[in-house]
């Protein structure tokens, strides 16, 4: 197979409405529970992969700077799999740019590894295969499996050993005009990475088993509510999916706390809006940001209220977006 040698991809972050936390298989990075997300526009990562026969090792540049060695190692791990599948040994130069804050709980690893999987497969001359790209992205970062597809996307739980596990597109971006208004609370990287936090929860939280047992039902309700575009049914379960996930970290020993004071203020803002009749429910990931999920017609009001909350640095407004684009 002849390789074009160079490819660009654009992928978007996603926000899980039904949360994933914890693995059933650490080596293959398989999630212990199913998750369901919205792929978000305009939170994009653009990635270029360029083969270079002269390189002894892959080179990875992130947001204009040479990446950290551990970040480069994760990129190389994925490229090694693409090289094995394509039969092409050449190393690559990877340049990636996030159009939103990196590694602070805003799903930059999701869009990043989705874009990388798609760009790498194309650069090494493999035929486009979204399920394979999704499984490959999953190995690097479980949430990245979902960013291969646009709109509303589910990643099932993985049985140990199932390395073909990939996300499943449920509805495309035009299905429902849900919005995600993000109250950005820090620009920095978080103290405790998701991967480390998940292992700590599984080892030390008394609620770990109850989480694994209850998460599939929450994901099921969210799947049905999205299919029916039923916001009234969706909202409370979106909240409970994030609270039960955060509680795992919080009840680990010692406790891992992703909240900042301003996170609580933003959650209070969301509740006050709802008490005044605005349809909006919160979700959070393993970081301090509060993500308010609402129907399109409520978004302007939510944006204004979050922007006025003390400690909220700025607000991002996202809507369902497309899957990975390869050029």
Beta strands in 22-77 (DSSP E): 23-25, 30-31, 35-51, 59-62, 65-66
Nearer to a copy of itself, 214 or 301 (CB): 214
Q: How far is the CB of 151 from a copy of itself (least distance, A)?
A: 26
CB-nearer residue toward a copy of itself: 236 or 327: 236
Shortest Cβ distance from residue 107 to a copy of itself (Å)?
22
Element (H, E) at 96: strand 92-98
Identity of the residue, 126 or 278, whose beta carbon is nearer to a copy of itself in the bound complex: 278
Shortest distance in whole angstroms from residue 291 CB to a copy of itself: 15
Least gap, CB of 279 to a copy of itself (angstroms): 13
CA 249/CA 286 separation, integer angstroms: 9
- 3 state DSSP class of 124: coil
**Closest distance to a copy of itself from the beta carbon of 188 (Å):** 15
Q: Which two tokens stand for residue 100?
A: 């939103």
**Which of 178, 182, 184 has its CA nearest to residue 291?**
182
Judged by CB, which is closer to a copy of itself: 209, or 314? Answer: 209
Nearest one of 10, 165, 139, 9 to 75, comparing CA atoms: 139
> Of 133 and 218, which CB lies nearer to a copy of itself in the complex structure?
218
Q: Give the shortest CB-57-to-a copy of itself separation in angstroms.
A: 37
CA distance 208 to 230: 29
Backbone torsions φ then ψ of 209, nearest 5 degrees: -65, -40
DSSP state of 296: G
The DSSP bridge partners found for residue 180 are 293, 318
User: How far apart (Å, rounded) are the C-alpha atoms in residues 43 and 32?
Assistant: 27
Residues forming contacts to a copy of itself in the complex (CB under 8 A) are 206-207, 209-211, 213-214, 236-237, 239-240, 243-244, 246-247, 250-251, 253-255, 257, 259-265, 267-268, 271, 310-311
């Amino acid at each position: 197979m002849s390789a074009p040698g160079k490819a660009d991809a654009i992928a978007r972050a996603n926000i899980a409405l039904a949360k994933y936390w914890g693995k059933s298989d650490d080596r293959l990075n398989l999630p212990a529970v199913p998750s369901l997300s919205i792929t978000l526009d305009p939170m994009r990562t653009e990635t270029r992969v360029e083969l270079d026969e002269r390189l002894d090792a892959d080179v990875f540049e992130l947001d204009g700077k040479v990446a950290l060695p551990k970040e480069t190692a994760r990129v190389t791990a994925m490229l090694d799999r693409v090289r094995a599948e394509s039969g092409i040994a050449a190393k690559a130069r990877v340049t990636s740019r996030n159009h939103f804050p990196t590694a602070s709980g805003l799903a930059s690893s999701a869009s990043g590894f989705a874009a990388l999987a798609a760009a790498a497969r194309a650069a090494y001359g493999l035929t486009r295969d979204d399920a394979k790209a999704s499984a490959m992205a999953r190995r690097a970062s479980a949430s990245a499996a979902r960013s291969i597809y646009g709109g509303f996307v589910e990643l099932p739980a993985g049985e140990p050993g199932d390395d073909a596990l990939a996300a499943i597109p449920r509805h495309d971006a035009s299905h429902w005009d849900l919005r995600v208004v993000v109250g950005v609370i820090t620009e920095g990287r978080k103290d405790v990475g998701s991967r480390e936090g998940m292992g700590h929860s599984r080892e030390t939280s008394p609620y770990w088993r109850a989480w694994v047992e209850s998460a599939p039902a929450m994901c099921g309700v969210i799947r049905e509510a999205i299919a029916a575009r039923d916001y009234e049914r969706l909202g409370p379960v979106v909240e409970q999916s994030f609270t039960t996930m955060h509680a795992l970290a919080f009840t680990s020993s010692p406790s891992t706390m992703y909240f900042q004071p301003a996170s609580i203020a933003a959650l209070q803002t969301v509740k006050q809006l709802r008490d005044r009749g605005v349809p909006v429910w919160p979700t959070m990931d393993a970081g301090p940001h509060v993500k308010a999920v609402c129907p399109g017609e409520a978004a302007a009001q939510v944006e204004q209220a979050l922007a006025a909350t003390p400690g909220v640095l700025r607000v991002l407004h996202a809507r369902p977006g497309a899957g990975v684009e390869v050029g």
